[in-house]
Homo-oligomer: A and B are copies of this chain.
Amino acid sequence: MGEQKIRNMEEFAALSGISRPTVSKYFNDPNSVRPSTRERIEAALEHCDYRPNIYAINQNRRLTKNIGIVVPFLADPFFAEIARQIEQRCIAAGFWPILFSAHGQQELENNILDSLRSLKPAGVLLAPLGRASDRKKVEAFCAEVPTVLFDSNIAGIGEAFVGSDNFSFVSQSVEYLSRTGEPPCFFEMRTPANPNANKRRAAYFKTMETLGLEPRVIKIEGEGWSFEEIGRDGARRVLEDRSLPTNTVLCSNDRLAIGFLAACYERGLRVGRGDGCALRVASHDDHPFSRFTCPSLTTVAHDYDSVANRSVETLFELIEGGGRLPERTETLFPARLVLRASA
C-alpha cells in the first residue's frame, strides 16, 4: 500500500474501477453496495491509503457524524473516566466523538457551546457545570442541537437526562452508617458547584427523618472545583473547633472526603470502624482514587457503565428520531454501597 497518491474520490474511483457515486455510497455505508463491488473497492484501498476528505463530506451533509461530549471538569478523574466510556461507545457506533472540558469556568462552557454549533454535531452529551452554567445559553443551545444531559440535571433543559439517583446514594450510606454506629452528620460545601449536592442534602434530611434521627449539616466555605483542598481546609477548622456533632461524617462527595481524611491524618485522628478509631468517614461517588486513600474510603458507587451506556443509547434514539424525543425522560440509576476501611 501507499504506492499511489490519490487526491480525491474521482481518482480513487478510477483506480478501483467503480464509478464515483457508487464509491461515495460505499463510504457512507459499506453494506449498501453489492459484495463483489465492496470487494473491488476494498482491494483498491489496499493499494493506496485514500480516505475521503471529511470537510467536503461534512459540508454536504446537513448533519455530521460528530458527537460532542462536554464535561465540567476533566481534571477530575471521575469525568475523565465517564468520558472515556462514552467516547468508546460513540466510536463503536461509527460516530466521531469530540471531547471538551469547561474546566470549571462558565466562559469556557459558553465558548464550547459556540464551537459545537459550528461543528454541526449529530448530537451532544452534556454534563453542565451546574450552578455556574449560563442557564439561558445552555437552554438556547439545547433548543438548536439535539442534546442529552448527563450527570448533572437542569430541569427542563435538553431532550433527556441520564444520571445517578442521589437518593439511592445517600439513603444507602446513611442507613449503613446509622445501623453500624452513630448516625452521620453531613459534610458539604455551603455553595456547591453541582446540583447533585443539593439533592444529596435533601436525601440526607429525608433519610434521617425516616429513621427518626436528627439531621446535622456542616457547611464549609470555598468556591470552585478544588474540592479536596476545600474539604481539607473545612475539616481542619471543624476538627480544630471540635465542633463535630458526631463521630461519623458523611461527605457529600469523595473529593471532599479525600480532603477530610487528609485533615484527620494531620491531626493524628484514626479513621475507621475499629475500636481504636476516633472517627468514621464515608462518602459518595466511588472516585477512582477512593480505594487508595488512607484509610480506603467507604463510599457509594455510581453505576458508571449504565450511565454511560444509557446516555449514549438515549442520544442515538434522539438522533434517529430526528433530534426530538416524544417526551423529556429522566433516567436515574441506583448506586451501590462499597464498604472499605474508613467507615
**B-binding residues in A (CB < 8 A):** 51, 53-56, 58-59, 74-77, 80-81, 83-84, 91, 96, 98-101, 103, 111, 115, 117-120, 228-229, 232, 258-259, 261-262, 265-266, 288-289, 291-296, 341
Contact = CB atoms under 8 A, between A and B. Distances in A.
Nearest to A117: B51
A59 B55 contact: yes
10 contacts: A53-B118, A55-B58, A77-B77, A84-B101, A96-B115, A99-B100, A228-B291, A228-B292, A232-B292, A261-B294
A101 B259 CA distance: 28
A294 B262 contact: yes
A118 B75 contact: no
A236 to B, nearest CB: 12
A92 to B, nearest CB: 12
B103 A84 contact: yes
B74 A228 contact: no
A84 B80 contact: no
Nearest first, the 6 A-B pairs at minimum CB distance are A294-B294, A265-B294, A55-B59, A75-B80, A55-B58, A55-B55
Contact of A75 (B81, B261, B262, B295): B81
Contacts of A96: 115
Contact of A289 (B74, B228, B341): B228
A76 B265 CA distance: 24
Contacts of A291: 228-229
Q: Pick from A118, A259, A292 the residue with the most CB of B within 10 Å.
A: A292
Contact of A288 (B75, B101, B103): B75
Contacts of A228: 289, 291-292
Nearest to A99: B99
A58 B266 CA distance: 55
A51 B294 contact: no
Contacts of A296: 262
Nearest to A232: B292
Given A56-B59, A74-B74, A75-B84, 20 more contacts: A51-B117, A54-B119, A55-B56, A55-B58, A55-B59, A55-B120, A75-B77, A75-B80, A75-B288, A77-B80, A80-B101, A84-B101, A98-B98, A99-B101, A228-B289, A229-B291, A229-B292, A262-B292, A262-B294, A289-B289
Nearest to A98: B98
Contacts of A56: 55, 59
Nearest to A56: B59
B51 A118 contact: yes
Q: Pick from A77, A261, A296 the residue with the most CB of B within 10 Å.
A: A77
A229 B289 CA distance: 10
Nearest to A60: B55
Given A54-B119, A55-B59, A98-B98, A292 B258 contact: yes
Nearest to A111: B91
Nearest to A53: B59
Contacts of A289: 228, 258, 289
Contacts of A54: 118-119
A228 B119 CA distance: 38
Contacts of A59: 53, 55-56, 59
